[in-house]
Amino acid sequence: MPIDLSPDPAVAELAERTAAFVRERVIPVEVAHDGVVPSEAVREELQQGARAAGVFAPHVAPEFGGLGLDMVGRATVFEEAGYSLLGPLALNIAAPDEGNVHMLEAIATEEQKVRYLAPLAAGEVRSCFAMTEPAPGAGSDPDALATVAARVPGGWRIDGRKWFITGADGAAFAIVMARTTGTPGDRGGATMFLVDADNPGMVVGRHIPTLDQSLYAGHLEVVFDGCVVGDDAVLGEVDQGYRYAQVRLGPARMTHCMRWLGIARRSQDIAVARTVDRQVFGSRLADLGMAQQMIADNEIDIRASRGLIMQACWELDQGGHAGQAVSVAKTFTAEAVWRVVDRSLQLCGSLGVSGDLLLGRYLREVRPFRIYDGPSETHRWSIARRVVGRHTAATEPARVPAP
């Protein structure tokens, strides 16, 4: 049976328009501000430009003003948006809002969609996802969840500390993961809650100094202290938070990969242009063997990453969990993108480490991706466990029922 790997014509056309918008409108802003959006005014200006170009909210369902792309379609368009650090923000596909939109579409009640999803999808507000906690709380081990939500008349009281909550500064609401049954270390027993930013029990604390700076509004500490919400704040069903988190985490890991793959391509393009122009030892740098090896290895990493992303996205679009494909793609892409940016910087020599190119910024931005959305080590553990589990199930003698 023939296999057609070309994108849908409508998706290909949207990707072309996205690429043109990013190069013409977004990259000049990125260069002017060293890859960091300085204000809400700049964010709004970028998003207005994306609306005018017809590329805004490609992931959102048409009923909420978006273009309704599936995961495979997103892979092509998001990569083009990710060619600039600011492209995803311009298209309203940046983390954490993009993942929250996906989850709200799948889980929220009709009333919650009107109150939270519609303004988020339109770019009128921002959001955050409050799950990660200081040690020994939830991080790479979500079962360590320590934030608790207890029943009170008419609703719930949430108490706990979160940190590395991206975009919490200025977010209109948070999706909060809290334990409703059991104790830290127990599997299950978590519930998601929608908490408005003006709730007096939700206190947004300090900005955590981090290596990366391009994710809008930074990474913050957030404290929930006697944070009371109504029953209508429950997102999904009580005690089913971990199950619902999988609705968000798999696709969100892949959209991170798509966006960072765009930066890998941008880095390769910068490096190749430099090697073609740079004359050393009587020839172009691009004609020297060691430079050619780095260029070739970059191309291999970019193409391999794209293939793994597409495989995982195809499995997600079929309605499967796609856990193994997602873990493989996330682990490989996070490490491959780092290699590509690092080689590109090396190829550019002193110019690469200077502030005259953005490669130093890209290197700082992509390094944390090997930690967030699951460290590479955690994904490797999960990958190996699944492989061993399949082997064990296939080789164990068939159990004969007792008489």
383 and 259 both lie in a single domain: yes
Is residue 81 within 8 A of residue 91, CB to CB? The reply is: yes
Pairing mode of beta strands 173-179, 190-196: antiparallel
Please report the sign of the dihedral spanned by the C-alpha atoms of residue 265, residue 358, residue 25, residue 62: positive
- Return the pLDDT at 399: 57
User: In sequence order, which residues have a C-beta less than 8 Å from that of residue 151 and are 6 or more positions away?
Assistant: none
Q: How many residues does this entry show for the chain?
A: 403
Q: What does the pLDDT average to over 254-272? A: 98
- pLDDT 10s digits, 26-46: 999 999 999 999 999 999 999
pLDDT in tens, 81-111: 999 999 999 999 999 999 999 999 999 999 9
Query: In the prediction, which pLDDT does 1 show?
Result: 55
The residue range of the domain holding 214 is 127-235
Same domain, 169 and 206: yes
- For residue 400, is pLDDT > 90? no
Are residue 274 and residue 356 in the same domain, yes or no? yes
Tally Cβ neighbours within 10 Å of residue 40. 12
Please report, for the domain that includes residue 142, its CATH number: 2.40.110.10
pLDDT recorded at residue 401: 56
Task: Give me the chain's average pLDDT, please.
Answer: 95
Domain end residue (candidates: 67, 92, 121): 121
CA 295 to chain CA centroid, nearest Å: 27
Instruction: Count up the domains in the chain and report the number.
Output: 3
The CATH number that applies at residue 314 is 1.20.140.10
CA pair distance 57, 51, nearest whole angstrom: 8
